[in-house]
């Protein structure tokens, strides 16, 4: 799945994101709203990841959505 699709289908994907990253709050998910940079930022904050690791994890997760 591509990020443009994530943005378009965020309402459908949001629950899977929360199931994968349980530390993300409902407020985080609303703020992310399918935006890659916002997801990466929230992952950094909630999971104490550096930017590179957060980006990698976000990309890996999004790739699983196409399966």
Domain boundaries, the chain: 3-65
Q: Provide the mean pLDDT of the chain.
A: 94
In the chain the first and final C-alpha atoms are separated, in Å, by 8
> Measured between alpha carbons, how far is 23 from 28 in angstroms, rounded to an integer?
9
Segment 2-31 mean pLDDT: 95
> Measured between alpha carbons, how far is 15 from 44 in angstroms, rounded to an integer?
19
Question: Is 67 a residue whose pLDDT tops 70?
Answer: no
Hey, which CATH number is domain 3-65, 1.20.1050.10, 1.10.150.20, 1.10.1470.10, 1.20.58.100?
Answer: 1.10.1470.10
Supply the pTM of this predicted model. Answer: 0.92
């Amino acid at each position: 799945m591509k990020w443009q699709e994530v943005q378009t289908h965020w309402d459908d994907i949001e629950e899977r994101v929360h199931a994968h990253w349980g530390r993300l709050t409902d407020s985080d998910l609303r703020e992310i709203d399918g935006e890659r940079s916002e997801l990466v930022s929230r992952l950094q904050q909630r999971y104490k990841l550096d930017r590179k690791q957060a980006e990698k994890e976000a990309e890996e997760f999004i790739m699983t959505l196409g399966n």
